[in-house]
Amino acid sequence: MAIQWFPGHMHATRKAIKERMKQGIDVVIELIDARLPGSSANPLLASLTDGKPSLKLLNKQDLADPARTQLWLDHYNALPGIRALPLDAGNKAPAKALVAACRELAPLRGGMSKPLRILICGIPNVGKSTLINTLVGKKSAKTGDEPGITKVEQRITLDQDAYLFDTPGMLWPRISIPESGYNLAASGAVGRNALDEEEVALELLDYLRLNYAPLLQARYRLEGSIESLKDDELLEAIGRKRGAVLGGGRVNMQKAAEILMYEFRQGVLGRITLETPEEFKSWAATAAIA
């Protein structure tokens, strides 16, 4: 599955990031989705930002499986030049923790003559606007006309000697790993038209059936063992339980898919993470061979 996401936008974003790097950046914050940390990271970012120290913020941690969030934090924190923190962007003002982590990554910066310069990046829907609004204490939404697209560079003062820069444009995910495409679609990070919803829901169910069966059973009151059901049988059972039935008693599979994905996105099913560091590594290795 090779999907090219909005190459025009991506080109402008790359230029904006490179331009900002030239003017000086000490630490790069990458906001990623705690439910799919590997898939929601942009693999080009390290080279675009000249390998600068990076703070990974695992946002939406309130929706993610806490044990798996810890696995991802351990994974990132073991890498040189990288720190990782969990985040719930709308809930708290995390400026102090962010600045402290960035100071650790760039210990030679600080003070009025050498202020700490931080760049923030993230793919669409990951919560960048929410975080920025929380940091500046605003309730209002996006900064541009188009949802999620910042038109001009913003500079936010986090501390007297620490600035956060938000470049214009949007960092799109580069999807060369099939599982990442499905996980991004399930999370709502890529548009509804990008992939067939029923197919995305079936892939999601396949993963949930194997990893989070008790949550599915509890939410949809499914009896017996669901591990042995095929994905479409399971989606049908969910549709039936939720009254997504057409004339003649047939299940409306599209509606069933929408219900499942809506409830996953809202966290109604429970706290779920769609990939572990180990799984993501093996998916990437398989995709590289293919």
Question: Which residues lie near ligand G4P (CB under 6 A)?
Answer: 59-60, 62-63, 88-90, 122, 124-130, 148
Q: What's the min distance (Å) between Cβ of 263 and ligand G4P?
A: 13
**178 exposure class (CB count in 10 Å sphere: 0-12, 13-18, 19+):** middle
Choose among 22, 23, 43: nearest CA to 32: 43
Residue 24 Cα to chain centre, angstroms: 26
In the complex with ligand G4P, which residue's Cβ is closer, 128 or 209? 128
Please give the Cα distance from 59 to 124 (Å, whole number). Answer: 13
Q: How many residues does the chain have?
A: 290
Tell me the closest approach of the beta carbon of residue 63 to ligand G4P, in angstroms: 5
Amino acid (1-letter code) at residue 161: D
Nearer to ligand G4P, 126 or 251 (CB): 126
Q: How far is the CB of 70 from ligand G4P (least distance, A)?
A: 17
For residue 237, the minimal CB distance to ligand G4P (Å) is: 27
Of 60 and 219, which has the nearer Cβ to ligand G4P? 60
Judged by beta carbon, residue 105 or residue 121, the one nearer ligand G4P is 121
Determine the Cα–Cα distance for residues 210 and 180; give it in Å rounded to an integer: 17
Give me the least distance between CB of 102 and ligand G4P, in Å please: 19
In angstroms, the CA 236 to CA 222 distance is 11
Q: Which is nearer to ligand G4P, 234 or 261 (CB)?
A: 261
Q: In whole angstroms, how close is the CB of 210 to ligand G4P at the nearest point? A: 24
Query: In this complex, which beta carbon is closest to ligand G4P, that of residue 8 or of residue 111?
Result: 8
Q: Is the dihedral of CA 275, 255, 263, 175 positive or negative?
A: positive
| Dihedrals phi, psi of 78, to nearest 5 degrees | -85, -10
Distance CA 274, CA 238 (A): 20
